[in-house]
Amino acid sequence: MKIIVLDGYGLNPGDLSWDEMAALGELTVYDRTVPDELLERAADAEVLLTNKTVITAGDIAALPNLKYIGVLATGYNIIDVQAAKLQGITVTNIPAYSTSSVGQMVFAHILNITQRVGHYACANHRGRWADNLDFCYWDTNLIELDGKSIGIVGLGNTGRATARIAAGFGMKVRACTSKLQSQLPEGIQKMELDELFRECDIVSLHCPLTPETQGMVHAARLATMKPTAILINTGRGPLVNEKDLADALNSGVILAAGLDVLSVEPPRHDNPLLAAKNCFITPHIAWATREARDRLMRIAVDNLKGFIQGEIINNVLK
């Protein structure tokens, strides 16, 4: 079985091993694949593994040996799944591998904004504390989380993980979810979306990207938030209208934003959020802890093993 990994660098820049995958067939791993390279590299492949490399209906039609596409991520919008289904090609994904890591990143952003640890550490390396007249100093607003309200939009795996961490900080947890109040874990209060944005001190996005949720964070909704509010997005970049958020930050409509995702990645240099006031951006790394990537690799191997043995795991075409 010929196995091609189209863009393996994101998952494994060198600190993991492909050996278990290689044991399942003839494995070739490419760090990155641009569209013009795909058909040549995948010409005889029975198995394609991809993280962000798009596989179109045209690609699928041109690859007669292809039997299996494994997405090395949770989202599978990069695959034309209907074309795959018509050709009898199995498509799998990797759900829930980074749940704990994403919840951790949510609070890394929250704590950075409320405590500004990086700001003070950098200032002290430049001598700020050593030159200070008093035993301590602060030049930012320091914010206690205990008693504050966090609104979680989407109560799937990462939303629930974030809720558990928030409860540990003594926060009031609110959620916009399709679940009934009776189905929610103890301590989580259901809210409608607009009420959540209006009432909560922090709003964290964990919902899928759909036509209904695309651009859901826009100028009108931001204007309803508290001027002390914080927006966190570790979900999908296009959930946010980036110009509207930049304008809201620069004009003080809300206090700050912590983002791990943007609408285009890598971002264009003229993305307005890159220069926005109190906007803290990490490069889509919430999923990328060593532990989460190791888990992803193991699940990817198990998915392919299951396919080979006729027991398909994490099938997105069910």
Catalytic residues: 236, 265, 284
Burial of 158 (0-12, 13-18, 19+ CB in 10 A): buried
Phi/psi for 5 (5° steps) reads: -100, 120
Per-residue CA distances from 229 to 92, 197, 214 (Å): 38, 9, 21
Nearby residues of 282 by Cβ (< 8 Å), 6 or more positions away: 105, 108, 109, 258, 259, 260
Pairing of strands 256-259, 279-281: parallel
Name which of 54, 42, 55 is nearest 3 in CA terms: 42
Nearby residues of 23 by Cβ (< 8 Å), 6 or more positions away: none
What is d(CA 76, CA 237) in angstroms, rounded to the nearest whole number? 15
3-state class (DSSP) for residue 301:
helix
Beta bridge partners of 315: 92
Nearby residues of 123 by Cβ (< 8 Å), 6 or more positions away: 129
